[in-house]
Amino acid sequence: MTQAPTQVPASAATIVFDLDGTLVDTAPDLINALNFVLDREGLPPVPLQSARTMIGAGARKLIERGLELEGRLAGPADITRLTADFIDHYAAHIADLSRPFEGLEGALDELASQGYRFAVCTNKLEWLSRRLLDQLGLSARFAAICGADTFGVSKPDPQILRQTIARAGGEVASAIMVGDAGPDIGVARRAGVPVIAVGFGYTEIPIAELKPDRLIHHMRDLPDAVEGLIASQNNAIRD
């Protein structure tokens, strides 16, 4: 029996990725920057493994969480000062230890050969995101790289995802979000976009509990997850 053609062709589909914990394992450099700031405040370092789940809501929130671990509270002015110090240090060491997750580039190659376009939607600042992806040789793969400062909103506000898709030249109706944590699931749901979650990222809540449309545990499984998700969408349309 001949399979019916898909109603959402790859050439029309945009795959939007979170950055930290999804595309790139950035935790070592982020936590090193956090510990640099904490050390200047006379506080002990945060262990990398226990701090991984603190990542994902931006530098300011990461610093607040780091201080809270030591029972320290800081006012808005102090957090602003510490955030500036954090960003200065992080920008200078942004790709010392950060690396793409295993299988990422092969997955992107396979999906690109099928006509998909890619974008990045992150709560990281845009210029830091670009610097990181530049240093890792990944920037050219993405039609748009958008951060929390690009449109003045951050995830899970749906406008950041909708505008990222538009900037990449795509349509919300034929987009897929890929992320590792609650803000990614939330922004996708609010924007009406299906979401694939990765099980190797940074999240306090087990990602399966957030009920993504698909869940993968290695980037090599991403092309199959995308194909399956689009097939299920098209079947729903036909039904």
Q: What is the pLDDT of residue 4?
A: 38
**What are the structural domains of the chain?**
10-26+98-238 (3.40.50.1000), 27-92 (1.10.150.240)
The tens place of each residue's pLDDT in the chain, 239 residues long, gives 333 333 445 556 999 999 999 999 999 999 999 999 999 888 899 888 778 888 877 788 889 888 888 777 778 898 999 999 999 999 999 999 999 999 999 999 999 999 999 999 999 999 999 999 999 999 999 999 999 999 999 999 999 999 999 999 999 999 999 999 999 999 999 999 999 999 999 998 999 999 999 999 999 999 999 999 988 877 666 65
Q: So what's the pLDDT on residue 2? A: 35
Mind spelling out the 3-state secondary structure of the chain? CCCCCCCCCHHHCEEEECCECCCEECHHHHHHHHHHHHHHCCCCCCCHHHHHHHCCCCHHHHHHHHHHHCCCCCCHHHHHHHHHHHHHHHHHCCCCCCEECCCHHHHHHHHHHCCCEEEEECCCCHHHHHHHHHHCCCHHHCCEEECCCCCCCCCCCHHHHHHHHHHCCCCHHHEEEEECCHHHHHHHHHHCCCEEEECCCCCCCCHHHHCCCEEECCHHHHHHHHHHHHHHHHHHHHC
pLDDT at residue 226 in the model? 97
pLDDT of amino acid 239: 54
Q: Which of 18, 157, 180, 213 is catalytic?
A: 18
Active site residue 78: no
